[in-house]
């Protein structure tokens, strides 16, 4: 479904991502783990059209989407839950969700709103509340629900459990499990490396802008050398 080949992205003179390649198959849950500053956000941003890669290609269902605009990517079925959520704090829960569904037809958007209200009861209870009043856990659920409103075929999430209390971290992982059981395709950046490896089919390890390992959870967990470098990986 997603094929990233030799992707390199620079910030000025600094190459934050160096010739990264990865593959996500339909229905797979793929983890992307690595220490702070490894280039995880840069990689997702380069796939999602938020950053322009300097070299390499991104193909989605065979089509070359390298450097395409985010809105075009959203229409073609690729959604990102960005780092730090980036919800619209002055807009209500419902308004945030409607914006997430801007690329789908009105009738489908109405169905999706019902679906989100059912899937996320905490959001249904705060439907008319400005998003700025939500707790961290509620805001994260809103960010995920907003991305689901575009009916993505590939959902990417950048650190969905960041800054949440332990019970809410559990909730995020339960949600990942649920999306997985629905057969959705996910690419998830997570600092909770061990937990991500439990729910992922496979994972890639990024370090200093390079992908240094790939494998199943059990394959990667056996690599003590890798885990020494993870923040929160103990
Ligand atoms: N806008 C920017 N301008 C310059 N350098 C940047 C910019 N954004 C990120 N970097 C640098 O690029 C490298 C990769 O950053 P990136 O945010 O992709 O890492 P990350 O793996 O997502 O880290 P974290 O775990 O902290 O979210 C880091 O060295 C960072 O300092
Ligand atoms: Mg990041």
The predicted pLDDT at position 129 comes to 97
Nearby residues for ligand 2 (ion, Cβ within 5 Å) = 40-41, 83
- Tens-of-pLDDT digits for all 234 residues of the chain? 999 999 999 999 899 999 999 999 999 999 999 999 999 999 999 999 999 999 999 999 999 999 999 889 999 999 999 988 889 999 999 999 999 999 999 999 999 999 999 999 999 999 999 999 999 889 999 999 999 999 999 999 999 999 888 888 998 999 999 999 999 999 999 989 989 999 999 999 999 999 999 999 889 988 877 776 664 444
Q: How far is CA 194 from CA 31, 34, 106, 221, 227, in A?
A: 10, 11, 40, 8, 9
The predicted pLDDT at position 229 comes to 65
Q: In the structure, which protein residues have their CB atom closer than 6 angstroms to any atom of ligand 1?
A: 11, 14, 16, 34, 36-42
Residue 73 lies inside a defined structural domain of this protein = yes
Residue 143 lies inside a defined structural domain of this protein = no
Q: 36 CA distance to ligand 1 centroid (A)?
A: 8
Tell how far CA 109 is from the center of its chain: 21
Q: Ligand 1 pocket: which of 8, 10, 16 to mutate (most atoms <8 Å of CB)?
A: 16
**Burial of residue 196, with CB atoms counted within 10 A of its CB: 0-12 exposed, 13-18 middle, 19 or more buried:** buried
Residue 24 lies inside a defined structural domain of this protein = yes
CATH code of the domain covering residue 220: 3.40.50.300
Paired tokens of 94: 């419902």
Residue 111 lies inside a defined structural domain of this protein = no
Residue 89 lies inside a defined structural domain of this protein = no
Residue 90 lies inside a defined structural domain of this protein = no
Residue located nearest, by CA, to atom 18 of ligand 1: 39
Domains contained in the chain, number: 1
pTM confidence score? 0.93
Paired tokens of 174: 């339960």
**3 state SS of 75:** helix
Residue 16 lies inside a defined structural domain of this protein = yes
Residue 130 lies inside a defined structural domain of this protein = no
Q: 37 CA distance to ligand 2 centroid (A)?
A: 7
Domain span including residue 190: 2-83+153-227
The predicted pLDDT at position 221 comes to 86
Residue 84 sits at the vertex; the CA angle it makes with 209 and 95, to the nearest 5 degrees, is: 135
**3 state SS of 90:** coil
């Amino acid at each position: 479904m997603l094929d990233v080949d030799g992707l390199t992205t620079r910030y000025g003179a600094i190459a934050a991502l160096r010739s990264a390649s990865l593959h996500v198959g339909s229905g797979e849950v793929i983890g992307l783990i690595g220490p702070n500053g490894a280039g995880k956000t840069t990689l997702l941003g380069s796939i999602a059209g938020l950053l322009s890669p300097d070299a390499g290609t991104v193909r989605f269902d065979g089509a070359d989407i390298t450097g395409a605009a985010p809105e075009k990517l959203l229409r073609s079925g690729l959604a990102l839950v960005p780092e730090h959520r980036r919800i619209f704090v002055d807009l209500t829960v419902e308004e945030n969700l409607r914006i997430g569904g801007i690329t789908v037809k009105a009738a489908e958007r109405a169905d999706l709103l019902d679906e989100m209200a059912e899937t996320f009861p905490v959001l249904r209870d705060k439907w008319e509340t400005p998003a700025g009043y939500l707790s961290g856990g509620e805001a994260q659920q809103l960010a995920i629900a907003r991305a689901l409103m575009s009916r993505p075929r590939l959902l990417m999430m950048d650190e969905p459990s960041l800054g949440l209390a332990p019970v809410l971290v559990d909730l995020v992982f339960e949600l990942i499990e649920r999306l997985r059981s629905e057969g959705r395709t996910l690419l998830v950046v997570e600092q909770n490396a061990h937990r991500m490896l439990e729910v992922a089919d496979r994972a890639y390890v990024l370090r200093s802008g390079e992908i240094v390992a790939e494998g199943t959870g059990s394959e990667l967990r056996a690599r003590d050398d890798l885990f020494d470098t993870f923040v929160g990986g103990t």
